Copies of this chain bind each other. A is one copy, B any other.
Amino acid sequence: MALTAGELDARHVSRRGIESQRKIIHAAAVCFMRHGLEKATVDEIAQELGSTKGRVYHHFASKNEIYLEVYRQAMEYCFDAVLPLLDLDIPAPEKLVRMATAHGHVMMDTLPFQRTIRLGVDVYLRGSATEAERKVLSGLIAMRNDYEALYRTVLQQGQSAGTLSVPSVALAGRMIMGALNGLVDWYRVRPEQTWDDRDRIAASLAEMIVGGLRAD
């Protein structure tokens, strides 16, 4: 399931090259967030790096490939933040709140990446993608589904344990994802904002979301 970086293209190995790739991905995410997937040009991404197109196309075969890598990175951020929480030995409602809070943090901390995903998702790449690219995209969409499944698992556990009252696990999962991902639509980074400020947002949001699912 885990798609290793560079699946489309196994040329790059050097340490410096990897670092350059990372920077390109990050610059691309910022540009995608600013101007959208199409309006953001490869030249602009290069400029964001204080560089030129040549550098970008040396590391990536196409703009699509860059987008896919941003997508993958965004998903990895989510998994890294939430996976550890699954092992916690706490009641399902509390675990859900913890997971949702963590997800909220990721949304705010990696905003350009998460925003990029929302901008196109499946609609981008339609037609104008190679067969290989489409396969990678399918894998990423599956990855996203796997991520949502983490929440459904806990929902199911809570339902079985009687700590949660969930009419439809699938629908509840959708609801949770929607409410949390909505963050990227309205959250704006403010320099003076502290971690505590963001934590209040994430925790409060998580509590409201899970609150509607608690068994009373």
Residues of A within 8 A of B (CB): 33-39, 118-121, 123-124, 126-128, 167-168, 171-172, 174-175, 177-183, 185-186, 201, 204-205, 207-213, 216
- Nearest-neighbour CB distance to chain B for A43, whole angstroms, equals 14
Instruction: Tell me the bound Cα distance from A215 to B207 in angstroms.
Output: 14
- Taking A38-B36, A211-B212, A212-B213 as contacts, is the C-beta distance between A205 and B126 under 8 angstroms? no
**CB-nearest residue of chain B relative to A186?**
B174
Q: Collect the chain B residues with CB atoms within 8 Å of residue A180's CB.
A: 178
Question: Contact: B178 with A35, CB < 8 Å?
Answer: no
Contact A208–B212 (Cβ < 8 Å): yes
Task: Knowing A36-B126, A119-B119, A182-B177 are in contact, say whether A171-B205 is a contact too (CB < 8 A).
Answer: yes
Is A34 touching B210 in the complex (CB atoms < 8 A)?
no
Contact of A213 among B128, B182, B211 (CB under 8 A): B211
Apart from A171-B204, A175-B205, A178-B180, what 12 extra A-B contacts exist at CB < 8 Å? A34-B123, A36-B37, A36-B38, A36-B120, A38-B39, A39-B124, A167-B204, A167-B207, A167-B208, A175-B209, A177-B182, A178-B181
Which of A128, A208, A216 has its CB near the most chain B CB atoms (within 10 A)? A208
Which residues of B are found within 8 Å of A186, using beta-carbon distances? Answer: 174
Nearest CB on B from A100, distance (A): 11
Contact of A123 among B119, B123, B201, B211 (CB under 8 A): B119
14 pairs, A vs B, C-beta closer than 8 Å? A35-B123, A37-B38, A38-B38, A119-B119, A167-B207, A167-B208, A168-B204, A171-B205, A174-B182, A175-B205, A179-B209, A207-B212, A209-B212, A216-B216
